[in-house]
Structure 1
Amino acid sequence: MIDDESKYFSLSGDIPIGGPSTWHVTDWDQRRMISVTMDGEQDDESIATEHLSRHSSQLPSHIYRIYISHSGEIISTYTDTKKDQTQCVHYPFLHELVLPEGVQTIQRDELEELDRLGPDADLVAYPAWSKGPAKKVVFKYYFLWQYTQMSWKEMNLWMRLPRHSNIVPFDRVVVDELEGRVIGFTNDYVPGGSLEENKSRVFKLRWLRQLIQVVDDLNLRYGIAHQDIAPRNLLVDESIDSIMLFDFNFAARINNTSHDEGESYCEDRNDIKGVIFTTYEVITRDDSLRRKPHEEQNINDL
């Protein structure tokens, strides 16, 4: 289940002079968008998300917009589909994707949802090809057009990376069961939580060496910058006592400085700085420096 702090998100709104104001809020857990209208000029989307969080679990799926009073109660609801702000997302056909040798596909209806790990990420399982328990994997997908480009590039980069002992393995490309369109991908599931989620483990010098090595390999051998090295993107595979890096949605080719979303290299997000800040954060449990924008993060502050 997605935690309450990450459950709601708003990308757009309508704030006419004098009001009323409307924010279009995404409920990541229910994978739906609901418009929240309030009197006056409300330029803070957090007010709308707070109101929605109180009512979302009781709202039927055919409700697309709610009108909220100053006290946070629902004045009226709207079921007209013209009020639905959800936009159609393009999913490419499988033949538009060149699969590297050895990368397989799986249909969405073969996946059994086990848990919602976060926005656009579910824990799922599918039958193992040999006798034994079903294989657990993480299914990453998108249903907002704003994330289409980033998701597509992450999938294409991750599945082409050589297998590495300190990178969570790419698993399969996921296609829909109707037309065979590409809707996402899966990667191996590593239990135990990230370094941000699970602080009970003593961080080992061995893991730091492994993190430095995988960053060196990405940067110097493959020409790839992860650009989001942080405790939230580091797992520990306890079966082999190894750090595991995942989540390549900000990764980019180091020699590419174009401004296409999810592709351009940004020196302010360089991986060396990421390793240093991550080490400091893991040891001290102080993440105040990392909460600053990347361009304001200064190693000399440590």
Structure 2
Amino acid sequence: MKPQDRFFSEGQCYFGPGENPLTETQCDVWDWDRLRMVKVKGTAKLFLPDEDIENTILAKFADYLSPEVRAITVDDNGLLVEVSADPEEDDTPFVAYLPFSMIESLADSRAIQYSKLQELGRLGPGLDLSSCEGEFGIPRKVAFKFNPLDKPLRLQMAWDELNILRILPPHPNIVPFNRVVLEDVESRVIGFTTKYIPGGTLDNPKTPFRFEWLQQLIRLVDFLNLELGIMY
């Protein structure tokens, strides 16, 4: 995962006038690596509206903090002065995932418990490279896609992606659906896996974009839109 993609802030919360530099301020920052919210505290002098400096501040300390830390406090220079493991400080959202047994549309889908996946690395926000036991007990790499945030739009997009990808007919330019992933306590649906295809991404501007790839993308969009009626 790119360092700049690891953190995002939900904004600044001022406990008083935001223009007063002494006003107590706190910011909830999501850490995609640890999959939890960390509260960053300070004053309005440091945390100006919409600048999201809290992402940069947390990035400096995150890898040195205990997994139990729920909040940090910094001075007006952004230097760490206090950490807290108080559960009351934990603003990590709870997501009410649906139980697998209640979802008729997934009744014929293969499923795997989350504990059966071995995390190998983060490919990006909400996307892990994992390993699981394949046919004949041979380990295989899969991409595990999930949504740990309680944002309605993100939840809807994740749900639509799972259900659409699961029923798509085979296509040479669509990564095939693998399994539904269930959490271990109540078998709730938390995501899905697909076949992992190595090769990187087009994020690197030095990677040449071949005309052949553009043709494949256009053919795929035509297939989804004209043959399946899916807008993309």
State the alpha-carbon separation in 2 of the partners of residues 101 and 54 from structure 1.
Answer: 45
Shift of 1:100: 5.7
In structure 2, what residue type is equivalent to 1:138? A
Aligned residues: 223
TM-score by length of 1: 0.69
Match of 1:8 in 2: 7
- Cα distance, 1:76–1:100 mapped onto 2, change above 3 Å: closer
State the alpha-carbon separation in 2 of the partners of residues 208 and 88 from structure 1.
Answer: 40
Of residues 11, 20, 28, the one that matches 2:24 is: 20
Match of 2:140 in 1: 135
Deviation track 1:212-235 (CA, whole Å, cap 9, x = no partner) reads 111111111111122xxxxxxxxx
Match of 1:93 in 2: 99
In structure 2, what residue type is equivalent to 1:14? C
In structure 1, what residue type is equivalent to 2:36? R
State the alpha-carbon separation in 1 of the partners of residues 137 and 181 from structure 2.
Answer: 22
- Cα distance, 1:182–1:198 mapped onto 2, change above 3 Å: farther
Shift of 1:12: 4.0
Shift of 1:91: 1.1
Alignment of structure 1 residues 218-233 onto 2, 5 Å: 218-226=224-232
In structure 2, what residue type is equivalent to 1:80? D
- Cα distance, 1:213–1:100 mapped onto 2, change above 3 Å: farther
- Cα distance, 1:131–1:66 mapped onto 2, change above 3 Å: closer
Of residues 77, 81, 91, the one that matches 1:71 is: 77
Alignment of structure 1 residues 240-279 onto 2, 5 Å: none
Shift of 1:193: 0.8
Instruction: Tell me if the contact between 1:10 and 1:45 (Cα under 8 Å) persists in the aligned partners.
Output: no
Higher RCO, 1 or 2 (CA under 8 Å, sep at least 6)? 2
- Cα distance, 1:131–1:177 mapped onto 2, change above 3 Å: closer
Match of 2:35 in 1: 31
Match of 1:57 in 2: 63
Instruction: Tell me if the contact between 1:124 and 1:139 (Cα under 8 Å) persists in the aligned partners.
Output: yes
- Cα distance, 1:161–1:45 mapped onto 2, change above 3 Å: farther
State the alpha-carbon separation in 1 of the partners of residues 214 and 146 from structure 2.
Answer: 30
Of residues 126, 129, 136, the one that matches 2:132 is: 126
State the alpha-carbon separation in 2 of the partners of residues 77 and 131 from structure 1.
Answer: 44
Q: Equivalent residue of 2:95, what SS?
A: coil
Match of 1:275 in 2: none
Match of 1:292 in 2: none
Q: Give unpaired runs (5+ residues) of structure 2.
A: none
Match of 2:183 in 1: 176
In structure 2, what residue type is equivalent to 1:144? L
In structure 2, what residue type is equivalent to 1:137? V
Q: Alignment RMSD, CA only? A: 2.0
- Cα distance, 1:186–1:199 mapped onto 2, change above 3 Å: farther
Q: Which has the higher strand share?
A: 2
Instruction: Tell me if the contact between 2:39 and 2:71 (Cα under 8 Å) persists in the aligned partners.
Output: yes
Q: Equivalent residue of 1:224, what SS?
A: coil
Shift of 1:187: 1.2
Instruction: Tell me if the contact between 1:34 and 1:64 (Cα under 8 Å) persists in the aligned partners.
Output: yes
Instruction: Tell me if the contact between 1:100 and 1:160 (Cα under 8 Å) persists in the aligned partners.
Output: no
Shift of 1:95: 1.9
